[in-house]
Amino acid sequence: MTIAAISPGIDSASAVDLVSAIDMSSAADVAAELSSDLGLADADIRYGLTQEELFAAAIEGDLGRVRPGGPDGEHKAHATALGSDGPLIFYSDPSCTGRPVHDTFCVDRPSLREAVWWKDGFARFDEAAFDPLVDRVVAHLIRLRARLYVTDVYCGTDPDFAEPCRFVGEYATHAYFCNIMLPAHLMPPAHLNGAADHREHGWTLLNVPSFHCIPDRDGTVSQRAVIIDMQRRLALVLGRADYCGVNKKTMFTVMNFVQPQKGQLSMHCSANVGSAGDSAILFGLSGTGKTTLSADPDRDLIGDDEHIWTDAGIANYEAGCYAKLIDLDKQAEPVIAAALSMGGTLIENVPPLDGRSLADTHPQELDLRDRSITENTRFAYPLECNPHVAPGHQGPHPTTIVLLTADAFGVLPPVAILDPDEVMYHFVMGFTAKLAGTEVGVTEPVATFSPCFGAPFMAHKPDVYARLLKQRMHEHRARCVLLNTGWSGGAYGSGKRMSLPVTRRLLDAALSGEFDDADTRTHPILGLTMPVACDGVDDRILDPRRTWAAPEAYDEAARRLRGMFRDRYIEQGYAQMGIAAAM
């Protein structure tokens, strides 16, 4: 086995700082472990490369398909005019510009069968087929004498709850991405390379784009697959599934299974903390304002996507952000705009300019409105690119929980105060609404329900997370509000979107406790508790019925939405899970 060993690090500067803490013989140990654990011998192992070295390796050697119907030998990674001082540009396979939902599985082991929430996006994979598939993948790599990039990282910034993860993959870009998104440099020196307890407690993520599955032989449904084996602590990413986000979402799904078993709450949310130590977590689906509202100049950001609420407080799972770039307003999002020109970042699936090579293009010149490859253009960058980041990406127990929704029906109030049972109900509902015109065939708002505001990645049934949330809120006396960033005065097309200043004022009021003893009224149809006043906000906005020109039309719309909630409650069997109805 060929071994290339360079000190692990997020960049060359940090690598120099850490050389004294790294046992250089660990590269040989990694090679021996891969051979012993997986039978992976006779491969060209590149372990612990710095980001600069991975940048160069990606441009030179990451080859595959980048155009529909194109060959598999085209370069997938590129530099801009800034070279290694700027972002790495990566193009995933055109058939995989997002998470491959229908090709994502969990190995169906008897010991786990009752614990897993089986569903589309986390379907059963026959355990009798998994081990032979692993052997075929390994044999494939040995036959190719494949060059494999290996990096040891952690999922989690709290050492007491972080899970070691060893990425092993054919693309240097994916190792580069993992070094951005998953922390290694935040751990105590003894744990920097993940070797201390990886064999017993760590996870291996084996990413092999060159292995195209044969469904009849391998037990998959297509030529690609993402398969997690919770028992072996092994995840396979195979075939045309090279969208970078697959790597982090696979480990997030792992954390969502492992941590609740330890009594800790794994969450799809953003989080921040005020100067008084008043942490807050914000749950919400795409388009509800989760990232925007957590980026508050008066509060320190803990993270924008994936967290854990432990016995000690809140900790980010990640060391980076993975932001959508499509139609980015650089004036409204100056942090992301500035980071586009920084080194150690990764731009994914933004098309080159017509007639210009990427090597001659400054990253600020890229057309972020161009959706010719995908709507899901992405940008990975270190969390430290944001101002006001909480030390260690951690915070104390939250005092405020915010459930965000963007109600395009114009029915929900802009803010409602929830009791613990209502929190469980709205948390498992995970409601928002798609807008007319955003998808082919969508001509009016469509209700979307995603349990725990992240159903695809929740490995346990929703009530597991809901009970943990209720327990944590009770233990730490946290308040909760439902914050609607959607429409007022009518549905999408007739009403108007809540203004960001109004939403921020309501959020600030919730965070400061202004609604704790406020005068309230009860919504006559939805049963929600609404404050009657908030300094700086027109009182009429707080009662959505008063914003509609035809109150009777509002009542009809409210009853329709209530019916959607009730139908969903019955369909999902939430009563049998012990979750009380709230509408």
Task: Indicate which residue of 46, 76, 99, 185 is catalytic.
Answer: 99
Residue 192: pLDDT band (50, 70, 90) is: very low
Strand order in the sheet with 320-324: 77-79, 88-90, 346-348, 378-382, 320-324
Given this model, what pLDDT does residue 565 score?
98
Residue 287 dihedral angles phi and psi, to the nearest 5°: 90, 0
CB hemisphere CA count around 193 (13 angstroms): 25
> In this structure, what is the dihedral angle of CA atoms 76, 80, 84, 87, given to the nearest 10 degrees?
-80
CA distance 308 to 472: 12
Task: Indicate which residue of 220, 250, 279, 291 is catalytic.
Answer: 291
What's the token pair of residue 459?
Answer: 């490995």
Given this model, what pLDDT does residue 202 score?
87
CA distance 224 to 203: 21
Q: Give the containing element (helix H, strand E) for 540.
A: helix 539-542
Task: Indicate which residue of 305, 370, 407, 463 is catalytic.
Answer: 305
Q: Is the pLDDT of residue 196 over 60?
A: no
Q: Answer yes or no: 286 catalytic.
A: yes
Given this model, what pLDDT does residue 291 score?
85
CB hemisphere CA count around 338 (13 angstroms): 10
Domains 2-261 and 265-309+397-571 share a fold: no
Q: What percent of the chain has pLDDT over 70?
A: 91
Domain locations along the chain = 2-261, 265-309+397-571
Given this model, what pLDDT does residue 435 score?
66
Q: Is the pLDDT of residue 24 over 80?
A: no
Task: Indicate which residue of 174, 378, 397, 426 is catalytic.
Answer: 378
Q: Answer yes or no: 310 catalytic.
A: no
CB hemisphere CA count around 40 (13 angstroms): 26
Q: Answer yes or no: 99 catalytic.
A: yes
Q: What percent of the chain has pLDDT over 90?
A: 83
Average pLDDT over residues 382-403: 95
Average pLDDT over residues 404-431: 97
CA distance 372 to 358: 16
What's the token pair of residue 505?
Answer: 């004022």
Q: Is the pLDDT of residue 200 over 50?
A: yes
Pick the CATH number of 2-261 from 1.10.10.60, 3.40.50.620, 3.30.1490.270, 3.40.449.10: 3.40.449.10
262 three-state secondary structure: coil
Q: Is the pLDDT of residue 210 over 80?
A: yes
In terms of pLDDT, which residue wins out, 99 or 9?
A: 99
Given this model, what pLDDT does residue 14 score?
34
Bridge partners, 480 (sequence order): 401
Q: What is the mean pLDDT of the chain?
A: 91
Average pLDDT over residues 383-410: 95
Q: Answer yes or no: 291 catalytic.
A: yes
Task: Indicate which residue of 191, 249, 299, 461 is catalytic.
Answer: 249
Task: Indicate which residue of 46, 76, 268, 393 is catalytic.
Answer: 268
Q: Is the pLDDT of residue 12 over 70?
A: no
Task: Indicate which residue of 166, 185, 198, 290 is catalytic.
Answer: 290
What's the token pair of residue 555?
Answer: 């009542």
- CA 100 to chain centroid, in Å, comes to 14
Q: Answer yes or no: 354 catalytic.
A: no
Q: Is the pLDDT of residue 193 over 60?
A: no
Least trusted range by pLDDT, from 33-37, 101-105, 198-202: 198-202
Cα end-to-end distance, the chain, whole Å = 62
Q: Is the pLDDT of residue 22 over 50?
A: no
Domain 265-309+397-571 has CATH 3.40.50.410: no
Q: Answer yes or no: 248 catalytic.
A: no
Task: Indicate which residue of 84, 286, 512, 520 is catalytic.
Answer: 286
CA distance 488 to 411: 7
What is the model's pTM? 0.90
Q: What is the pLDDT of residues 525-579, one digit of tens each?
A: 999 999 999 999 999 999 999 999 999 999 999 999 999 999 999 999 999 999 9
Average pLDDT over residues 489-510: 94
Q: What is the pLDDT of residues 430-487, one digit of tens each?
A: 999 976 544 444 457 889 999 999 999 999 999 999 999 999 999 999 999 999 999 9
Bridge partners, 400 (sequence order): 280, 479
Given this model, what pLDDT does residue 21 score?
31
Given this model, what pLDDT does residue 295 score?
86
Percentages of the chain per state (helix, strand, coil), in multiples of 5: 35, 25, 45
